[in-house]
Amino acid sequence: MTRKLFGTDGVRGTANQYPMTAEMALKIGAAAGRYFRNDGSNGHRVVIGKDTRLSGYMFENALTAGLTSTGMNVLLLGPVPTPAVGMLTTTMRADVGIMISASHNPHHDNGIKFFGPDGFKLSDEAEAEIEAMVFADIQLAQSINIGRAKRIDDGRFRYAERVKATFPQGQNLKGLKVVIDCANGAAHKVAPEVLWELGAEVIPVGVSPNGYNINENCGSTSPRTAAETIVSHGADVGICLDGDADRIMILDEKGNVADGDQLMALMAGRWADEGRLSGGALVATVMSNLGLERYLDGRGLRLERTNVGDRYVVERMRAGGYNLGGEQSGHIVMTDFATTGDGLLAGLQFLAAMIATGKKASELTKSFETVPQMLKNVRYSAGSDPLSAESVKKAIADAEGLLVGKGRLLIRKSGTEPLVRVMAECEDAALLEQVVDGIVAEVQTAA
């Protein structure tokens, strides 16, 4: 079935343009309500969180209207991180959790992510059923069975206590000076609070959201401000989150950035040494660097690769019984503690490693040498399919031939934006540039 709404991480797009309109959000809410309130009773509930985008108010109200119209009771959490929604869906015995966020995208975008009653993101099959209901006649509840909605004031604090409980017992962060960049997003209150309560000296960045500045020149996709702050304040380490705080980048004491691959390598090695790494494997996507795979192989560990998208990582983890996975982009999933990527939780695990080893951040963020990797994005117009063009197919085939035994190539469409992503890895820098630029040129022509 061809998807009209759902991508790799829920429904996403520009606010007030299809499909991210209030009208569509109302229909999505009603369809989700009908899907989860399948026995007709009035005991069903849904928790809704959001980040700090101005359009969040609109979508929060529209979803609430749709959900209550089909008999669901709505608990509104306000601005909280995405992982908090996953957690609170289970602890508050909700049937479904919804996060209103476009993650690392700019403020004019927004999205709707779903969590099932187990706190994990919905399967493709469940999303397909909800999508089908959106475009069909949705049976509304009888007047007497319309749902209620109310604000929940302590969701942030419940999440904070759960995250702090993952920090090693008897340890604290006293003596560490930590820069925390919250991307003017969902964690702008809870992340600095958690770090301070654990004993750190906290220097906050990106904690003044105004509805428009989420991810703007800050956060995991733009860590320069945090890097400059680390150097100017003589901080020990920096933690950069994205707009909904499910991603992280670690910065060392010099302001150098370590991506999700380096953080996963550190954790996999430490967990393996401690006998905590289930199945002797780390789950990551096809985007993770070849250097990570080589590092794990040298440790006698495996890298299990999946399609791009943290929920595909989680699906593989659950199917194989693995407890550590993530993405190069900074989604780090630790199913011993959480049901989805959690930037703050991952940051605490890194800080715990600093405390336990007594090492500087720079000594812990270079577990392996990365293989040179180049990624370029090509935007294409709606309705076109540049990857089907014969000229593009030939360019890809030629590039694959050049890279045999020297590297690897990955071409894919983004699941959240109209982009073709062209990625290659090769230790020959000139060849790397040649194959990527050659494919990009053909895709641009076909787009």
Alpha-carbon distance 175 to 209, whole Å? 29
For 240, phi then psi, to 5°, come to: -110, 120
* Least confident stretch, 86-95, 280-289, 391-400, 407-416: 407-416
Q: What is the pLDDT of residues 410-445, one digit of tens each?
A: 999 887 778 999 999 999 999 999 999 999 999 999
Alpha-carbon distance 190 to 343, whole Å? 12
Q: Would you call 107 exposed, middle or buried from its count of C-beta atoms within 10 A (0-12, 13-18, 19+)? A: buried
The pTM is what?
0.91
pLDDT score, position 42:
81
Please list the alpha-helical segments (H only) found in 258-342: 260-273, 290-298, 310-320
Element (H, E) at 191: helix 190-197
Alpha-carbon distance 295 to 303, whole Å? 10
- Do 199 and 164 form a contact (C-beta atoms < 8 A)? no
Element (H, E) at 421: strand 419-426
Give the HSE-up count for residue 53: Cα atoms under 13 Å, Cβ half-sphere: 31
CA distances from 258 to 228, 233, 284, 350, 362 (A): 15, 20, 16, 11, 9
Tell me: pLDDT of 281 over 90.
Answer: yes
Query: Among residues 324, 242, 346, 218, which one has the least CA distance to residue 9?
Result: 242
Q: What is the pLDDT of residues 245-266, one digit of tens each?
A: 999 999 999 999 999 999 999 9
How many residues are there in the chain?
447
Alpha-carbon distance 442 to 447, whole Å? 9
Confidence of residue 53 (pLDDT cuts 50, 70, 90): very high
Tell me: pLDDT of 109 over 80.
Answer: yes
Q: What is the pLDDT of residues 380-392, one digit of tens each?
A: 987 789 999 999 9
Specify which residues 205 forms β-bridges with: 181
Sheet holding 10-14, edge to edge: 6-7, 10-14, 109-115, 96-100, 45-50, 73-79, 149-151
Helix axes 82-91, 343-357, angle to 10 degrees: 100
The catalytic residues are 103
Helix axes 260-273, 290-298, angle to 10 degrees: 10
State the sign of the Cα–Cα–Cα–Cα dihedral 382, 387, 390, 396. Answer: positive
- Do 252 and 351 form a contact (C-beta atoms < 8 A)? no
The DSSP 8-state label assigned to residue 279 in this structure reads G
Element (H, E) at 13: strand 10-14
Q: Which domains does the chain have, with CATH numbers?
A: 6-153 (3.40.120.10), 159-244 (3.40.120.10), 260-342+358-364 (3.40.120.10), 373-446 (3.30.310.50)
Q: What is the mean pLDDT of residues 61-85?
A: 98
